[in-house]
Amino acid sequence: MDNALQIILDHSSSGALLREAFFKKEGPRVAEVAKVMAVALARGNKIMFCGNGGSAADAQHLAAELTNRFMIERPPLAGLALTTDTSALTAIGNDYSFDLIFAKQVQALGQPGDILLAISTSGHSRSIIEALIAAREQGIVTVGLSGRKGGEMPPFCSYLLNVEAENTALIQEIHITVGHMLCRIIDYYLFENVMEITPLLQKDPAVTDE
């Protein structure tokens, strides 16, 4: 067999096994996070996304799935990528530190009841950790997509979805699949089975189970 084809088949097989193992273990947590997000959106809050490099692209991708549409026709939903304002990113990075490029945006734009979904394949990205810290200080629910052992992210995440793998490319592939599933299940709760989240909408948002 040609070496290039063998590389492709090996990668495909490894990815399929990792995806199956991840969702078998974390599927219920993905559904739980999607429900929390749906409730936040129904209450008029927004979901913010951040990440670096390929994870920045994922952040923009997922925000667009909310503000435009995913798989069904429905009203736009409030998704905001903190990776797209080059003036803000370069001003903060230049005047303060690259570590604060997302944290300062969270402080400026975030409101209690919003959700921050922060993506890092290593779990060690300082700009991501600072964003999570800023979010928690403002009463914002924090969701982490991480890889390997979770890095430094776990203590700062209300919900952590960790891909236990070392291959960055495969971690990224699972991350975007998780993002797609969150978008799909958000739509399910908001537009196909809203009765399931109605009791949560009637709860005082200031009271949490954490």
To the nearest whole number, what is the mean pLDDT of the chain?
A: 95
- Structural domains counted in the chain: 1
| Residue range 139-154, pLDDT digits in tens | 999 999 999 999 999 9
Q: Please report the pLDDT score of residue 206 as a whole number.
A: 52
Residue 60 lies in a domain: yes
Q: Answer whether residue 177 is part of any domain.
A: yes
* Per-residue model confidence (pLDDT) at position 210: 45
Confirm whether 18 is domain-assigned: no
pLDDT tens, position by position, 94-133: 999 999 999 999 999 999 999 999 999 999 999 999 999 9
Q: Number of C-alpha atoms within 13 angstroms, CB side, residue 160?
A: 20
Q: What is the pLDDT of residues 161-183, one digit of tens each?
A: 999 999 999 999 999 999 999 99
Indicate which CATH number applies to the domain containing 122: 3.40.50.10490
Locate 13 and state its tokens: 């097989």
Domain assignment present for residue 9? The answer is no
On the CB side of 25, CA atoms within 13 Å amount to 11
- Kindly state whether residue 209 falls inside one of the protein's structural domains: no
Domain annotation covers residue 111: yes
User: How far is 131 from 157, CA to CA, in rounded Å?
Assistant: 11
State the residue range of the domain holding 179. 28-201
Matching residue, tokens 């996304």? 49
Alpha-carbon dihedral sign for residues 63, 185, 76, 79 = negative
Residue with tokens 């009791």: 199
